């Protein structure tokens, strides 16, 4: 059986697409995951995959002496990853972004291995722009992705349980899982794998506008203990969860999602979930704003800028009270979804790996 290497690091936005492809490759290839010490350090072993770690320092976008150590850090990590790929007889590499992708790509190029990239955002990140010249293809999540070299539009990989979600069938058990009631509109709040304090605060402030709705709030692990005691006495049923690694339960329970415009937009479209998106200003060239604009142009989402969070509550309340608007947004989301991206990428990488 051939061996495929997957490389990603930093946040769930980079790591989870790689894990989704790993799921599609299960039983068809041996797998090794190349990463560091951030989100992937717990998520990859939890998925049952072999993780090879190397200390890699990410680029600071401000001027700082710390950036002077990056070349040596990358060189050393490339050596560790190269040794691991040689020992395991790796036939191809898929890198899905983040600070470990570059040394993994350098190592694969030294070994003469076919390299594939995946870009989650509408603007290619720094690692993928750097490595695109070496790659056989850059799989993209959007029809137009600025900065991608040899782009191929396939969508953003998601787990099969989400791609094939039957919301109606799973919903009763999902509501019970989170201690929520049947018959109410459920608003889901997600700040990403690390959480987002500004979204948490804005939605807590918006509680008086939510009427008979209930809330399922994925706060991020850092913020669960901060948010949970503040939900008492709000007058709105409010279930607080630090992190959910089986997101099919979340999507089965919710009718509307408030979220960053991260890699989660693929799950929103695949499940036909209406959304209010708050693009983060961090990252490469405001990539979240471009991702949010893609959904908004299709009629699948409403966009609220970080600078206009005082409007968030009224936008959410409007959609809570308008089931026809939510239904139209759901249809629009499904129309632009690409739920089979993980399978498409897995097939291409397998062919190249031999």
Q: Can you give the residue ranges of every domain in the chain?
A: 3-158+339-353, 164-335
User: Two tokens at 136?
Assistant: 């056989």
pLDDT value at position 290?
85
HSE-up of residue 46 (Cα within 13 Å, Cβ side): 11
User: Two tokens at 240?
Assistant: 């607080």
- Mean per-residue pLDDT for 92-98? 95
User: Are 101 and 13 spatial neighbours (Cβ–Cβ below 8 Å)?
Assistant: no
Per residue in 258-267, pLDDT tens? 999 887 899 9
Class of domain 164-335: alpha beta
- Mean per-residue pLDDT for 277-297? 80
Q: Is the pLDDT of residue 342 over 50?
A: yes
Q: Is the pLDDT of residue 23 over 80?
A: yes
pLDDT value at position 252?
98
- Mean per-residue pLDDT for 189-208? 84
In this structure, how many other beta carbons lie within 10 angstroms of the beta carbon of residue 42? 14
Distance between CA atoms of 83 and 343, rounded to whole angstroms? 28
Q: Is the pLDDT of residue 66 over 80?
A: no
pLDDT value at position 138?
97
Q: How confident is the model at residue 192 (pLDDT cuts 50, 70, 90)?
A: low
pLDDT value at position 330?
98
- Mean per-residue pLDDT for 21-27? 97
Q: How confident is the model at residue 286 (pLDDT cuts 50, 70, 90)?
A: low
Total residues found in the chain within this entry: 354
pLDDT value at position 195?
55
Q: What are phi and psi of 284, to 5 degrees?
A: -95, 115
Q: Is the pLDDT of residue 59 over 90?
A: no
Looking up tokens 């459920």, which residue turns up? 186
User: Two tokens at 342?
Assistant: 């993980």
Check if 3-158+339-353 and 164-335 are the same fold.
yes
pLDDT value at position 137?
97
Spatial strand order of the sheet with 115-119 comes to: 51-53, 30-35, 3-7, 90-95, 115-119, 137-140, 151-153
Per residue in 146-186, pLDDT tens? 899 999 999 999 999 999 999 999 999 999 999 999 999 99
- What burial class does residue 314 get, using C-beta atoms within 10 Å of its C-beta: 0-12 exposed, 13-18 middle, 19+ buried? exposed
- Mean per-residue pLDDT for 179-207? 88
CATH superfamily entry for domain 3-158+339-353: Glycogen Phosphorylase B; (3.40.50.2000)
User: Are 34 and 84 spatial neighbours (Cβ–Cβ below 8 Å)?
Assistant: yes
Q: How confident is the model at residue 63 (pLDDT cuts 50, 70, 90)?
A: very low
- Mean per-residue pLDDT for 92-107? 95
Q: Is the pLDDT of residue 284 over 80?
A: no
Q: How confident is the model at residue 57 (pLDDT cuts 50, 70, 90)?
A: low
pLDDT value at position 184?
97
Per residue in 307-333, pLDDT tens? 999 999 999 999 999 999 999 999 999
Q: How confident is the model at residue 197 (pLDDT cuts 50, 70, 90)?
A: confident
Range scoring the smallest mean pLDDT among 68-77, 141-150, 205-214, 334-343: 68-77
User: Two tokens at 232?
Assistant: 């008492």
pLDDT value at position 289?
87
- Mean per-residue pLDDT for 14-29? 96
pLDDT value at position 70?
60
pLDDT value at position 65?
45
31 pairs with which residues across the strands?
A: 4
The structure's pTM equals 0.86
What is the 3-class SS of the chain, one letter each residue?
A: CCEEEEECCCCHHHHHHHHHHHHHHCCCCEEEEEECCCHHHHHHHHCCCCEEECCCCCCCCCCCHHHHHHHHHHHHHHHHHHHHHHHHCEEEEEECCCCCHHHHHHHHHHCCCCEEEEECCCECCHHHHHHCCCCCEEEECCCCCECCCCEEECCCCCCHHHHCCCHHHHHHHHHHHCCCCCCCCEEEEECCCCCCHHHHHHHHHCHHHCCCCEEEEECCCCCHHHHHHHHCCCCCCEEEECCCCCHHHHHHHCCEEEECCCCCHHHHHHCCCCEEECCCCCCCCCHHHHHHHHHHHHCCEEECCHHHHHHHHHHHHHHHCCHHHHHHHHHHHHHCCCCCHHHHHHHHHHHHHC
Q: Is the pLDDT of residue 191 over 90?
A: no
pLDDT value at position 93?
98
In this structure, how many other beta carbons lie within 10 angstroms of the beta carbon of residue 260? 24
């Amino acid at each position: 059986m051939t061996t495929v290497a997957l490389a990603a690091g930093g946040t769930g936005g980079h790591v989870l697409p790689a894990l989704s492809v790993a799921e599609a490759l299960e039983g068809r290839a041996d797998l090794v995951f190349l990463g560091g010490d951030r989100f992937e350090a717990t998520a990859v072993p939890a998925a049952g995959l072999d993780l090879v770690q190397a200390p890699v320092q990410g680029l600071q976008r401000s001027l700082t002496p710390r950036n002077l150590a990056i070349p040596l850090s990358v060189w050393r990590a490339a050596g560790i990853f190269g040794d691991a790929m040689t020992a395991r007889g790796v036939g191809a590499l898929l890198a899905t972004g983040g600070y470990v992708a570059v040394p993994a790509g350098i190592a694969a190029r030294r070994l003469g291995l076919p390299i594939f990239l995946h870009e989650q955002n509408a603007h290619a990140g720094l690692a993928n722009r750097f490595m695109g010249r070496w790659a056989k293809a850059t799989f993209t999540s959007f029809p137009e992705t600025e900065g991608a070299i040899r782009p191929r539009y396939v969508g953003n990989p998601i787990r099969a349980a989400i791609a094939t979600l039957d919301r109606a069938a799973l919903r009763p058990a999902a509501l019970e899982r989170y201690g929520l009631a049947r018959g109410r509109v459920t608003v889901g709040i997600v700040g990403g794998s690390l959480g987002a304090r500004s979204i948490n605060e804005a939605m807590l402030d918006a509680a008086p506008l939510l009427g008979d709705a209930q809330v399922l709030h994925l706060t991020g692990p850092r913020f669960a203990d901060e948010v949970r005691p503040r939900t008492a006495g709000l007058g709105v049923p409010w279930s607080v969860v630090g992190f959910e690694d089986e997101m099919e339960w979340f999507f089965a329970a919710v009718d509307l999602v408030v979220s960053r415009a991260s890699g989660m937009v693929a799950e929103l479209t695949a499940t036909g979930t209406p959304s209010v998106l708050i693009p983060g200003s961090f990252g490469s060239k405001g990539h979240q704003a471009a991702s949010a604009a893609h959904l908004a142009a299709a009629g699948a989402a409403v966009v609220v800028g970080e600078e206009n969070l005082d409007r968030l509550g009224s936008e959410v309340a409007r959609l809570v009270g308008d089931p026809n608007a939510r239904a139209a947004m759901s249809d629009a989301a499904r129309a632009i979804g690409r739920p089979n991206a993980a399978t498409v990428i897995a097939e291409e990488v397998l062919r190249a790996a031999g």
